[in-house]
Amino acid sequence: MAKILGALRENSVSCTVIDANLEGICHLLGGPVASTDTWSGRACRNIDINLKSLRSWAVYSNPDKYKRAVMDVNRLLHMAGRDYGVDITLSNYSSPSLLPVRSSDLLKAAECFDKNPFFPYFKKRLTESFLQHQPDIVGFSINFFSQALCAFAMAGFIKNLAPNILIVLGGGLITSWMNIPGFKNPFNGIADQLVSGPGEAALLSMCRQETSCRSSGNRYDYGDFNLNQYLSPGPVLPYSGSRGCYWKKCAFCPEQAENSAYVPSEPHDVIEDIHRLKRMISPCLIHFVDNALSPKLLKHLAENPLGTPWYGFARITPHLTDPDFVRGLKDSGCVMLKLGIESGDQAVLDDLQKGIDITTASNALRTIKAASIATYVYLLFGTPQENGSSAAMTLDFTLAHAEFIDFLNLAVFNLPAYSKEAEGLSTVPFYQGDLSLYREFIHPKGWNRNMVRQFIAKQFKRKTLIKSILHNDPPFFTSNHAPFFKGVLTFPHWGKIAGKFDNGEFCG
């Protein structure tokens, strides 16, 4: 959204942004909670203290206090959702009666907008905003299934309030839906236009602006974001140095299925723009949200330190086994790397076309740890290429490298419904819905989902070394808060800054 805002304003389009995710949650947390149980009562009494602690530094040096604060905040969201018959957490929203994979359910959410738990918030917020700005176009960025029902409720309210406003839906989830074979807009009457992929050019066209006259292509604008309300000890700057994936060869890859082009920005432009944003918002952490940071950009970062802690996702490459290269990343501000190792079985990695050598992965973990950079490792179980023996090899690899792994993400494979690889498998619908993106499949090696889940729960997670790693993971916030526990507080001079601003103010 910050990139879209920057592109529109660079082309003299009057616009504003509302982060309804943040504002809606804060609204619920500030409301009354009807409960008689001890936990909810404590959470209600301490809500202001807990929110302040999550926005300051001290709690991140005490994982137990941090987890208690997070769980208490989440408890209030759960109770607020329960009153409406929905499940709300800090990371999810779901309804037992409405599924975001059914267009009919999304239309029902739009029709019954006043039944949404966030209705009191968005009724007041949108009404006031429309009176102030009188927009011709309202766009929704919908990236996750958990956002869809509420986004459609808001869209339904807008159509009821101001039928002539053009409603545009975009974002990652909309892009995936539009790439379903034979897809036609099923949201007539609610969504006037849908946008696949980057939204800047499409919105500029709707605003009748030329897209080539004034467009840096990578100019973020965070001016409308209420940065002191986010649940972090300081502003976190999300930044993407590219679109798409530079590898783009993995089996089941959505980048392939959606034919997404890889469009990198020039590294020197990335560095220059980040320094511009640093002067504006003084972030305490930079989050590179690229699908994967290219070796070219990593090299440029190592040679041009940002002076602020940063983290992002990187592919396992020989670069990460070079001690000098990795130390350069550390010196540039890198406090954590997210690494998709996926499997400990080389044959599985080869069949998935991951381009990962397991020996290189082993050496990379050791080298990264030696440089005091935290690792957040992603493992994937249940792919068609895997069997029980392969999963056991992943377990063995993890145990052998446990001392080099700070955090673990364990995922069970979901088969993308429209990937070319799915054509060779026997499948059944994952969800009964016209917008479902996944399908169940009969595993060619008999390694079905139940067996995979049992292996993870009864074998993988029960190992003492792995239990210890999993215990490190911040609940709900996971990798988004992980750097605050492994690296940011030990960043050169950052401890003094954190201590100075431990009264709840932001670091700068």
The answer to whether residue 487 scores a pLDDT higher than 80 is no
> In which band, very low, low, confident or very high, does the pLDDT at 213 lie, cut at 50, 70 and 90?
very low
Instruction: Give the residue from 235, 293, 238, 227 showing the smallest Cα distance to 265.
Output: 293
C-alpha to C-alpha distance for 189 and 207, rounded to whole angstroms: 21
Q: Is 71 helix (H, G, I), strand (E, B) or coil?
A: helix
Q: Let me know if residue 356 belongs to a domain.
A: yes
C-alpha to C-alpha distance for 197 and 143, rounded to whole angstroms: 11
The answer to whether residue 496 scores a pLDDT higher than 70 is no
Sheet strands (E) in 240-300: 242-243, 263-264, 285-293
| Cα 243 to Cα 229, 428, 441, distances in angstroms | 28, 32, 31
The answer to whether residue 34 scores a pLDDT higher than 80 is no
Q: Quick one: tokens of 441?
A: 């499949």
The answer to whether residue 255 scores a pLDDT higher than 90 is no
Q: What is the mean pLDDT of the chain?
A: 92
> In which band, very low, low, confident or very high, does the pLDDT at 504 lie, cut at 50, 70 and 90?
very low
Do 412 and 268 share a structural domain?
yes
Q: Averaging pLDDT over each range in 10-14, 229-233, 245-249, which range is the top one?
A: 229-233
The answer to whether residue 448 scores a pLDDT higher than 80 is yes
Sheet strands (E) in 40-107: 87-88, 93-94
Judged by average pLDDT, the poorest of 240-254, 320-334, 338-352 is 240-254
- The phi and psi torsions of 317 (rounded to 5 degrees) equal -135, 165
Do 13 and 115 share a structural domain?
yes
Question: Looking at residue 391, which CATH number applies to its domain?
Answer: 3.20.20.70
Which of residues 206, 222, 245 is at a domain's end? 206
Instruction: Give the residue from 178, 200, 197, 179 showing the smallest Cα distance to 187.
Output: 178
- Give the number of domains in the chain: 2
Do 364 and 288 share a structural domain?
yes
Provide the 8-state DSSP code for 506.
P
- The phi and psi torsions of 370 (rounded to 5 degrees) equal -65, -25
Do 149 and 290 share a structural domain?
no
- Angle (CA) 410-403-396 rounded to 5° is 55
C-alpha to C-alpha distance for 30 and 492, rounded to whole angstroms: 37
Do 399 and 279 share a structural domain?
yes
Radius of gyration of the chain (CA): 23
Give the type of residue at 206: M
User: pLDDT digit string (tens) for 402-421?
Assistant: 999 999 999 999 999 988 88
What counts of helices (H) and strands (E) characterise the chain? 21, 16
> In which band, very low, low, confident or very high, does the pLDDT at 259 lie, cut at 50, 70 and 90?
confident
Contact residues for 357 (Cβ-Cβ < 8 A; gap 6+): 316, 346, 349
With 0-12 / 13-18 / 19 or more C-beta atoms within 10 angstroms meaning exposed / middle / buried, residue 208 is exposed
| Bridge partners (DSSP) listed for residue 429 | 439
Residue 338 and residue 308 in contact, taking contact as beta carbons nearer than 8 Å = no
Q: Quick one: tokens of 29?
A: 């947390």
Judged by average pLDDT, the poorest of 290-304, 400-414, 493-507 is 493-507
Neighbours of 12 (CB within 10 A): 9
The answer to whether residue 506 scores a pLDDT higher than 50 is no
Q: Let me know if residue 227 belongs to a domain.
A: no
Do 105 and 25 share a structural domain?
yes
Do 350 and 304 share a structural domain?
yes
**Torsion sign (Cα): 263, 358, 363, 308:** positive
Instruction: Give the residue from 341, 334, 344 showing the smallest Cα distance to 377.
Output: 341
C-alpha to C-alpha distance for 339 and 345, rounded to whole angstroms: 16
Residue 33 and residue 232 in contact, taking contact as beta carbons nearer than 8 Å = no
> In which band, very low, low, confident or very high, does the pLDDT at 210 lie, cut at 50, 70 and 90?
low
Give the type of residue at 500: K
Whole-prediction pTM? 0.93
The alpha carbon of residue 95 and the mean position of all alpha carbons in its chain are separated, in whole angstroms, by 21
Residue range 181-187: average pLDDT? Answer: 96
Do 280 and 188 share a structural domain?
no
Query: Between β-strands 427-429 and 438-441, what pairing exists: parallel, antiparallel or unpaired?
Result: antiparallel
Q: Let me know if residue 507 belongs to a domain.
A: no
Q: Let me know if residue 122 belongs to a domain.
A: yes
Q: Let me know if residue 344 belongs to a domain.
A: yes
Q: In this predicted structure, what is the pLDDT of residue 492?
A: 54
Q: Let me know if residue 481 belongs to a domain.
A: no
| Bridge partners (DSSP) listed for residue 140 | 169
126-141 core/surface letters (b: 16 or more CB in 10 A; e: else): beeeeeeeebeebbbb
Do 297 and 237 share a structural domain?
yes
The answer to whether residue 505 scores a pLDDT higher than 50 is no
C-alpha to C-alpha distance for 451 and 178, rounded to whole angstroms: 33
C-alpha to C-alpha distance for 75 and 274, rounded to whole angstroms: 36
Q: Quick one: tokens of 421?
A: 């690889």
Q: Let me know if residue 212 belongs to a domain.
A: no
Residue for token pair 């949650």: 25
Do 285 and 433 share a structural domain?
yes
Judged by average pLDDT, the poorest of 47-61, 110-124, 210-224 is 210-224
Residue 36 and residue 82 in contact, taking contact as beta carbons nearer than 8 Å = no
Q: Let me know if residue 502 belongs to a domain.
A: no
Do 244 and 162 share a structural domain?
no
Do 243 and 175 share a structural domain?
no
Range of the domain at 264: 232-473
